[in-house]
Chain A
Amino acid sequence: MTSIPADRLRDPRSLPPRATTIGGRAAGPRRGPARAPYVFIAPFYVLYVLFMVVPILVAVYLSLCEWVGLGPPHWVGPRNYAHLLTDVSFHRALGNTGVYVLVSVLVIVPVALMMAQGLNARGLRARDLFRVAFFIPMVVSPIVVALIFSLVFDRQFGLANSVLRAVFGLGGFDWLGDPTLAKVCIGLIMLWRWAGYLTIFFLAGLQNVPRSLYEAAELDGAGRFVTFTAVTLPALKPVTGFVAVTSFISAAQIFDEPFLLTHGGPGDATLSVAMFIYRAAFERQQFGYAAAAGVVLFVLVFTISQIFNRLLGIGRAS
Chain B
Amino acid sequence: MSASTPAHARRRHRTPSRALLYAALTALLLAFVGPLLWALSGSFKPRGDIFAYPPRPLPSPATLANYRHLLDSQPYPSWFLISTAVALVATAVSVFVCALAGYGFAKYRFTGRTFLFSVMFSSLSIPFAVILVPLFVILVKTGLGNPWFALVVPWVAPAFGIFMMQQYIIQSVPDELLEASRIDGCGEFRIFCQVVLPLLRPSLGALAVWTFLQSYNSFLWPLVLISDNDQFTLPLGLQTLFQAENRQYDLVLAGSVLATVPTVLVFLLLRKQLLEGLSAGAVKG
Per the 8 Å Cβ criterion, residues 1-48 of B in contact with A are 1-4, 18, 21, 24-25, 28-29, 31-33, 35-36, 38-39, 42
Would you mind naming 23 contact pairs between A and B with Cβ atoms under 8 Å apart? A24-B175, A32-B187, A43-B96, A44-B97, A45-B120, A47-B156, A52-B123, A59-B130, A59-B133, A135-B271, A137-B32, A137-B36, A140-B36, A141-B238, A143-B238, A144-B238, A146-B242, A151-B38, A151-B42, A156-B51, A201-B283, A302-B122, A314-B285
Question: What is B's interface to A at a CB cutoff of 8 Å?
Answer: 1-4, 18, 21, 24-25, 28-29, 31-33, 35-36, 38-39, 42, 50-55, 96-98, 100-101, 103-110, 113-114, 116-138, 153-154, 156-157, 162-163, 170-171, 174-176, 178-179, 182-183, 187-189, 192, 213, 216-217, 219-220, 223-224, 234-235, 238-239, 242, 247, 249, 252-253, 256, 259-260, 263-264, 267-268, 271, 275-276, 278-280, 282-285
- Cβ of A176 < 8 Å from any Cβ of B? no
- Cβ of A205 < 8 Å from any Cβ of B? yes
Q: Is B138 touching A143 in the complex (CB atoms < 8 A)?
A: no
Nearest-Cβ distance from residue B243 to partner chain A, whole angstroms? 8
- Cβ of A216 < 8 Å from any Cβ of B? no
Question: Bound state CA distance, A128 and B178, in angstroms?
Answer: 36
- Cβ of A136 < 8 Å from any Cβ of B? yes
Enumerate chain B residues within 8 angstroms of A256, measured Cβ to Cβ: 219-220
- Cβ of A218 < 8 Å from any Cβ of B? yes
- Mark each residue of chain A from 144 to 169: 1 if its CB lies under 8 Å from any CB of chain B, else 0: 10111111101011110011011000
- Mark each residue of chain A from 272 to 309: 1 if its CB lies under 8 Å from any CB of chain B, else 0: 01100110011000010011001101100110011001
Enumerate chain A residues within 8 angstroms of B109, measured Cβ to Cβ: 21-22, 25
Question: Bound state CA distance, A177 and B185, in angstroms?
Answer: 69
Of B104, B113, B171, B223, the contact of A17 (CB 8 Å cutoff): B171
Q: Is B216 touching A192 in the complex (CB atoms < 8 A)?
A: no
Chain B: which residue is nearest A30 at the CB level? B182
Chain B interface: which of A75-83, A178-186, A237-245? Answer: A237-245
Question: Bound state CA distance, A30 and B97, in angstroms?
Answer: 24
Q: Is A41 touching B127 in the complex (CB atoms < 8 A)?
A: no
- Cβ of A175 < 8 Å from any Cβ of B? no
Given contacts A20-B175, A59-B134, A141-B235, contact A302 B125 (CB under 8 A): yes
